[in-house]
Amino acid sequence: MRRVGSVFLAETAVVVGDVVLGPDCSVWHHCVVRGDVAPIRVGARVNIQDGAVLHCNHGVPLEIADEVSMGHHAVVHCRRVGRGTLVGTRATVLDDCEIGQECLIAAGAVVPPGTVVPDGMVVMGVPGRVIRPVSDRERAYLRRVVEVYLDLARRHAEGGFPPYEG
């Protein structure tokens, strides 16, 4: 594990090109953040979980606001993800999408190109559709995931989880 300032990067994470990671971000095992065709800007306290991919179209920057959680194997290839949003496990957010604040993109959802998701909405399905507002219980969960990953990153960086040596 490695720290770059307050950013936690797993050894197998690949971050290349025009990428800025905000304070207290964590980029976990086998993630790829490729700012090779346009800039990628990631806010503070964002967790990019194992196997996630962040990329964008040529000349179309990607902005990830503060306190966003990217679930395991999420693919984020869009314009913007708003503050406090969770992109669930294996969810895919495609070209030119704009996701609002405090949204929940459900596990496995595929958000079609050009979709604009208003603040505070749940998106589910293939193709992904806005189905309802985020509940208070879900909002609390979105905040809790951010806190859990801040703690996990700190514990990993401090050597709390040494690699398996058989």
Instruction: Say how far apart CA 58 and CA 11 lie, in whole Å.
Output: 28
Collect all residues with Cβ–Cβ distance below 8 Å to 166 and sequence separation of at least 6: none
Closest Cα to residue 72, out of 59, 96, 57, 53? 53
Read off the pTM.
0.95
Beta bridge partners of 111: 93
Return the pLDDT at 162: 86
Tell me: the pLDDT tens digits for 3-58? 678 999 999 999 999 999 999 999 999 999 999 999 999 999 999 999 999 999 99
Contact by Cβ (8 Å): 123, 130: yes
